[in-house]
Amino acid sequence: MNHRALLPLLLLLTAALSGCSGSEENSHVGYVEAEWVYVAAPQSGWIVSRPAGEGNKVAAGDILFTLDSERQEAASAAAGSRVEQAQAEARDIAKGARAPEIRALEAQLKEAQAGLTLARADQNRILSLVEEGIESRQRGDQAKANFATAQARVASAQEQIRIARLAARAGRREAAAANVAGARAARNSASYDLRQRTIRAQLAGNVSETFLEPGEFAPAGSPVLALLPKDGLKVRFFVGQQGLPNYAIGGKVSVSADGLADPVTGTISFIASEAEFTPPVIYSEGSRDKLVFLVEARLPAGSKLRPGLPVDVTRK
């Protein structure tokens, strides 16, 4: 007989059993389950140290393990040097030519001015000789041309000094600023990669198990240890279909166990939307062959309960 054919019979049996005892809908047998956080290496590398051992308590921010970082340190230092270089180039472009370059251009200007003085004197002397008929008119034209050339050299030297004292064009300045921004982004990326070699706890809890030891190679994404958060325990139990309306998300249940002095209050965090014929483990004869729903309740930190421990759950 298949499950669909058994369903009417199971419904009748559930109704009969639920009518035998009203307390059955308020009291259940369950077990404690843990939600471990598996901490893996975001990058592959050799494990250099692992301060967190099995059973250790850790707080958020504590170092769990470290990976070798020689390559990342070198990359971070190189990226920092590139930022300094880009900043120096940007400053140089922004303020124009340096003082030694300006002095060299000024020296060229003085040379051009001296040449102009000489060309003026030659022009005056030769033109007077041309008027007296001693020199040819062609020689006079040559003196005029030499004087004009000397004037142009002086003007050119003055213009070079003016341009050298100006900052670079807007396009070059923008390119230099973009180069600095790119170098800083590369440095930030290298620094991030370096920080990823030291793995810290993201939350407080207990180290339940370790999988790799110092000296072993940790592949990227492979768990190195399992961490049980302070609030990582929950109790799982099964409720019959008639008692299910009495349970709601956020509701409270009382959890007791052998050896536990006082019951612990749990908060319901999950109620299954689909029924099961029987729970995975048959806890009692009265729960057999019933339609039941899985219910989970979060346990508070410091409950002193352990994963896998059988518990009694009572609705408050």
**37-60 b/e with 16+ CB inside 10 Å = b?**
bebbbebebebeebebeeeeebee
CATH 1.10.1200.10, domain 3-35+232-315, yes or no: no
pLDDT at 78: 92
111 to each of 32, 100, 105, how far by Cα in Å?
Answer: 95, 17, 10
CATH 3.20.20.140, domain 39-65+197-228, yes or no: no
Residue spans of the domains in the chain: they are 3-35+232-315, 39-65+197-228, 74-191
Pairing, β 217-218 against β 45-49: antiparallel
pLDDT at 218: 95
pLDDT at 12: 32
Residue stretches of the chain with pLDDT short of 70: 1-25, 94-98, 165-171, 278-290
Helix ranges, the chain (H)? 3-20, 70-95, 99-132, 137-164, 170-195
The three-class DSSP label of residue 297 is strand
- Same fold for the pair 3-35+232-315 and 39-65+197-228: no
pLDDT at 19: 39
* pLDDT tens per residue, range 249-308: 999 999 999 888 899 999 999 999 888 776 555 555 554 456 889 999 999 988 888 899
pLDDT at 138: 87
State both tokens at 299. Answer: 């346990």
- Strand partners for 240: 292
pLDDT at 214: 95
Cα–Cα distance measured from residue 135 to residue 123, given in angstroms and rounded to the nearest whole number: 12
pLDDT at 74: 93
pLDDT at 235: 95
pLDDT at 263: 93
Helix axes 70-95, 170-195, angle to 10 degrees: 160
Residue recorded with tokens 């070798």 = 68
